Each structure stands twice: as C-alpha cells, then as structure tokens.
Structure 1
Amino acid sequence: MSSPVLEIRNLCVDYGVGATAVRAVRDVDLTLHRGQVLGLAGESGSGKSTLAYGLTRLLPPPGVVTGGQVIYHPPAGVPVDVLAMTPAQLRRFRWAETAVVFQGAMNSLNPVHRISTQLLDVLKAHRPTSTAVGRRERAREVLRLVGIPADRLDAYPHQLSGGMRQRVMIAMALLLEPQLVIMDEPTTALDVVMQRQILGELAQLRQRLEFAVLFITHDLSLLVEFSDHIAIMYGGRVVEQAASDRLYQQALHPYTEGLLQSFPALRGPRRTLTGIPGSPPDLRAMPTGCAFHPRCPYALDVCRSRLPPLGRPADSHAGRTVACWLHPTAEPATGTRP
C-alpha cells in the first residue's frame, strides 16, 4: 500500500459550546493514501460534510473542532497537524496541498465574473511570481483536462451547462496540482449520464496526476464503482470500513447492508429494494448504546446499552473494521439474532 497523505485521528466536531453543544462528529479515525479514492457514505445528517469542513478548518460558526488531529504528509518534508497550523500556513495549505469541490458546486461560481477571472485569481494568490501569460495558459490547460474547450475560458457561468460548471469547479480544484482533493456531493444535481461522464473523467485524471480523493456522497452505488476504499458514517461515527469490492460483496454492519439494499443492481436478477426503516438519530438526543439499534432488525440486548468499538473482526481481512456487536472485536456480544 502507498504511503499516507492524510491521517485523521480521533476527530471530534461540535456545534455550539457547553452543555447545549451538539456532537456532530465523534472520534473519527481515517487514513487516506496517495493516489487512493476513499469514499465516505451515509444518510444526510450522518456527519460527512462536517468531517470534511472540520479537517480543512472551514467550519462556519458555531462549528468547533473539539479534539483530535489531522496529520498531513507532504511529498517531501515533515508531517504537520492541520489543526495546529497558523493562518499563514493554512492559507498556503488550502488549494495548493488540499483542494475542495464544495457541495452544490454548480452554484459556487460567482455569476458576475468570467470563468477566467475566477481561475486566474487562484493562481495569482498562490503563485504571485507567475506571469499573466503563464497563468492564462495554465487555466486553459486545466479546462482541457476536464473536457472543456479552451475558448470557453472567458465565458460567464450562466453561459455554461450544469455539467460544464461542475467541471470548472473540478478544474479550479486541480489548478495548483494538490495532493488531496475533497469532493463533497459533487454530482448530486446532475443526471445519471452526466454523473457517469464526470466520474469517468475524474478517474482518468486521478490516474494521470496521482492525487488522492476523499469522495463524500449519500449514494453508495457511486462509491462502490468509483472508490478503492469506503467508510460508512452513522450518527457522527464511522461504523464500517472496507475495500469497496469486499463491502459490496459482504456488508458486515446492518446499516451498510440497508444502504446496499436501497439501490437496484445494474446486472443480475431483480430483487426487492428494502431500504432502512425509520429516520437518522437526532444528534441532540442520541440513543444509548449503538445509535443504529432503534432501526436495526438484528438488534441485541447489548446494542441498547453499550457502544460497540470500531475494530477488525477476528475472521475478517486486514484493513476492514466494523463497529457492531454482531461482529465483536474487543469482546463478544451476548444474545442471538431474533
């Protein structure tokens, strides 16, 4: 396995402070390796976007990172904790080392400025010694990388289709050749054909430029095909991690199983889509024990009282972890499936 580019250790994020604070991300541990696509899946409200904004220190108030570390490993140099960076260090880190394609990226472009202005501003800020000719040529180059003709550089956002605006945002993220690209629901507003086209181009770019991707979505079917490794979040915690093919073939956590049963297979016999009953938990009043037990068809007595640890099951492959008493890692669960 390649060397790590980002290590998230025991990250905790709250909204608010004091007794009324809401814990949105709870002790998350993730490692992203160079050139890898790590998918992060879960229902709305599971903490995916909060995790992304927390690790890049882009959380708007009242969001607060209350614990943990985010260790970035540069290609050459000493690893550094992003949460301990000074404002000047953080400014250099963003876009140059880690870029973000935000949720709702089609509406992230400024409608009153040309595409060229918005791309060139990034280059001016991070490469002040570059020439105007060099900056414009780099902007043309990244547009061609994402399949947009260079003659559209001076267009306004409203003159581009939704898919082209999405590609412009991806091009902006790749301008400075970052080591890590965080994509937060980048294809949600696009039709299925455009999703497939953009993800195919992104996969080719990742192989050519060798950057890592943290791909966040609620659509697990996209991640199974596009990601190398998948982490499932529920109630602010990671409840399962595995290689994408192993996760698809055999989900261990009942929540992951429910997500996989929520979308139809493209091939094979027809099957009934079951989905997951109930709603995600209220983060202000989390259930005791396992947060998923009120919706779980396999809940045991221990699930209602004790939080399962995230760890590797004894009979599982390396790199796979799960937090479920049906697959105990530290101590056995009591009871049997109903």
Structure 2
Amino acid sequence: MDVDTPIPDPHPDHAAATGDAVLEISGLNVDYGTGEQAVRAVSEVNLTLRRGEVLGLAGESGSGKSTLAYGLTRLLPPPGVVADGKVLYRPGDGSEPIDVLALSPAGLRDFRWAQTSIVFQAAMNALNPVDKISTQLTDVLKAHKPELSRTERAERARELLGLVGIPADRLDSYPHQLSGGMRQRVMIGMALALEPRIVIMDEPTTALDVVMQRQILGVFSRLRKRLDFSVIFITHDLSLLVEFADRIAIMYGGRIVEEAPAAQIYRDPLHPYSDGLLHSFPALRGPRRELAGIPGSPPDPRSLPSGCSFHPRCPKAFDPCSREIPVLGVPDDPQQQGGRTGTGRTVACWLHPAASSQPPTAAQFDSTLT
C-alpha cells in the first residue's frame, strides 16, 4: 500500500458496528525474572477491546507485542511474570466481569479457547507433528465439550475445515503434509472451534508469502464478520494493519506510544516512530522514492534510555525527550484541533504533550525546528 495515496476509512460498516468493551487491560506490567534482576518487558499498558473490533498492535521485534499477548492470557513461559495490572473480560451476558489474572487453574482452563483463543505465528511449531489434523481438532472439543460424542466431534472437525476453506479429506493428513498456508488455516479453525468472543492473532502471516498472506486475511475477515468475534492482531507490518484493523496501537520499548483509528494513523501519524514505521515499506504506486526507515536498533529492555526510549533514534528529539517520559494521553495542542485528535486518539510524545503532562516551553519546542 502506498502511504502517499489517500484511502477511505477501513471497512466503515464494521467500525460502526463495534460496541461495548469485551476486554479491558489496565496498568499491565510484565517482567522477565524477579527481584533486582527483573527486566520489565511491558510497562503500564492500558487498552480496551470492543465487541466486533479489530485492534492492531504494531511495532518492531522486541517491542513487547507478543509478551503483552501472552501476559494477558497467562501463557508466559518462565521466567516471565505479570508484575502488576488488571485484565478484565466482560462476558456480555449481564454477569460480572472476570479478572483473568485472578482465575484459578481450572477457571483459566475453561477461559482459554472457550472465551479467548490464540492463532500462533508458527503453525508448524504450534501443531503436533505426530498427530493427524483430525486428532488435534477433536482433542480441543474433547477437552472443553466432553458431552459431545465421537461422531459429533468428527462432524465438527469437518465443519471447521470447511470454514477455513480446506477439504474434509485433509483431516487424515499430518501437519508436514500441508502447505504453510493450509497449516495456518488449520490453526484458525482450531482457534474458532469453541466460538470464542476474542481471537488473538500473533503474527500469523510472518512466514507466508504476500499472496498467501492476503488469502489468509481474506478468510479471517469473512469469518470475523460471520461469527462476530473481536480480534487483537499483532504484527510488525503496519501496512497489513492499515487494511485490516479498526484501531491501531503502536508499541515501542514495552510501552504504547500512540493509539488511534487506523485511517488516522495512516494519514497523519503523530509519533515519529509511527511515521517511521509507515515509511519503512515501499510504495506500490506513484514515483519511486527512497525508503526512509528508522536509524539504529530497538533498545535493550535491560538498559532503556532515559526519558522517551525512542529519543536516541528520533529525528525530532529535543531537550525534554531525553529527560522525562511523555505521558500517553489526548494531545493538548491547539494545532491539533480540527480532527487530528479524533475520537480515541492518544500519543506519548513531547511534540504533542498530553493534557495531563507538563508541556515543553516555547523555546524548547522551537529548538526542534532549527
């Protein structure tokens, strides 16, 4: 997609249909290790996922995207631990919200797959190589719906393959006998086996060619509209999210640095890191242009820079950036009125300080323009 070409709002019919919150993440902190040796990989993340919404989570490798997903579902392998925060799931049936981080092992087992499922980024590693596809699909049903008979489970497995466009005769195949795209479709079918309200997609198209990426996303988009579930889509490819997501949250150094509707992020990114990501992929139309990219490398979470962790790589950094961490909030800048601050837009950048933070002085801001 060409970042210089205007686009309409992404699937406006779907965006208008989003409703009440189904998942609320507040103050989430995730560490690797404990005590003085702990390394904070996710810091003070606040996100809300609404019914029927696709929330994109973008950033370079190491920004904390997958750690956030595994933390909120309590799938972090040791030594990862959720140090603080809340993850509230709202069932939507009038019952009280469920605190995911406080669930017992039995409650957590019931919650996973039935209410929230994950499509992992490496299907060949996520699928058991020594079991047939039929066994892996029916095992999910056996574990969560023991009342189903063997015949009913087999019929449901055939239905799931049909949903994702795979012939039923592939049920007797092993994972290595399927193409990469078919394996990823099997994972999507498995994730939808119990009709969850939330599906987390952790870079599901990373190992696929661009043609297969679009096919997978096309299948998933149709299923989302048909089954009305919400999605958290994690990827480093912002161009995919611009097409697929309703809202996009940008992560850097374990923090959310910008969040806005997808069309706003595409047309007018406020954070220099968001702008850098947008200009890191080639235009498909128009004149040739040199890719801008982002200089340097993501920071080591064991030794984050002071102030804004992006400032060593930022072309617009000025005095406050190296001293103080900007607050994530609605920009309190008169120059941003008239639509740029739109509904739900937040940013953590001293170029657009939030109303709850101390903005830089005029002299400090002017220094960025010279």
TM-score after normalising by structure 1: 0.98
Checking the alignment, whether the CA contact within 8 Å between 1:290 and 1:307 is kept in structure 2 is: yes
What does the per-residue CA deviation read over 1:244-274, in whole Å, with 9 as the maximum and x for residues that have no partner? 0110000000000000010122334433211
Report whether the alignment pairs 1:324 with 2:368. Answer: no
Identity of aligned residues (%): 69
Q: Distance in 1 between matches of 2:47 and 2:240?
A: 20
Checking the alignment, whether the CA contact within 8 Å between 1:106 and 1:169 is kept in structure 2 is: no
Checking the alignment, whether the CA contact within 8 Å between 1:101 and 1:181 is kept in structure 2 is: yes
Specify which of 224, 234, 259 is matched with residue 206 of structure 1. 224
Compute the displacement of 1:318 (Å): 1.7
What does the per-residue CA deviation read over 1:120-174, in whole Å, with 9 as the maximum and x for residues that have no partner? 0000000000111111111111111111011111111111111101100110000
3-state SS of the aligned residue for 1:240?
strand
Matching residue of 2:244:
226
Question: How many residues get paired?
Answer: 338
Matching residue of 1:105:
123
What does the per-residue CA deviation read over 1:182-202, in whole Å, with 9 as the maximum and x for residues that have no partner? 010100000000000000110
Specify which of 151, 154, 158 is matched with residue 172 of structure 2. 154
Report whether the alignment pairs 1:78 with 2:101. Answer: no
Compute the displacement of 1:19 (Å): 1.2
Q: Distance in 1 between matches of 2:283 and 2:151?
A: 49
Gaps of 5+ in 2: 1-17
3-state SS of the aligned residue for 1:124?
helix
Q: Distance in 2 between matches of 1:98 and 1:155?
A: 27
Compute the displacement of 1:333 (Å): 1.8
Matching residue of 1:144:
162
The one-letter amino acid paired with 1:321 is T
Report whether the alignment pairs 1:125 with 2:143. Answer: yes
Q: Distance in 1 between matches of 2:106 and 2:96?
A: 17
Q: Distance in 2 between matches of 1:326 and 1:75?
A: 39
3-state SS of the aligned residue for 2:137?
helix
Report whether the alignment pairs 1:217 with 2:235. Answer: yes
Q: Distance in 2 between matches of 1:317 and 1:75?
A: 27
Q: Distance in 2 between matches of 1:308 and 1:246?
A: 21
TM-score after normalising by structure 2: 0.90
Compute the displacement of 1:75 (Å): 2.4
Matching residue of 2:277:
259
Q: Which range is displaced more, 327-336 or 279-288? A: 327-336
Compute the displacement of 1:38 (Å): 0.5
Gaps of 5+ in 1: none
Q: Distance in 1 between matches of 2:254 and 2:174?
A: 39
The one-letter amino acid paired with 2:244 is F
Compute the displacement of 1:107 (Å): 2.4
Report whether the alignment pairs 1:35 with 2:60. Answer: no
3-state SS of the aligned residue for 2:46?
strand
Specify which of 325, 328, 333 is matched with residue 360 of structure 2. 333
Matching residue of 2:209:
191
Report whether the alignment pairs 1:53 with 2:67. Answer: no
Matching residue of 2:5:
none
The one-letter amino acid paired with 2:83 is T
Checking the alignment, whether the CA contact within 8 Å between 2:124 and 2:176 is kept in structure 1 is: no
The one-letter amino acid paired with 1:324 is C
The one-letter amino acid paired with 1:133 is T
Q: Distance in 2 between matches of 1:3 and 1:95?
A: 21
The one-letter amino acid paired with 1:152 is R
Q: Distance in 2 between matches of 1:268 and 1:191?
A: 23
Matching residue of 1:19:
36
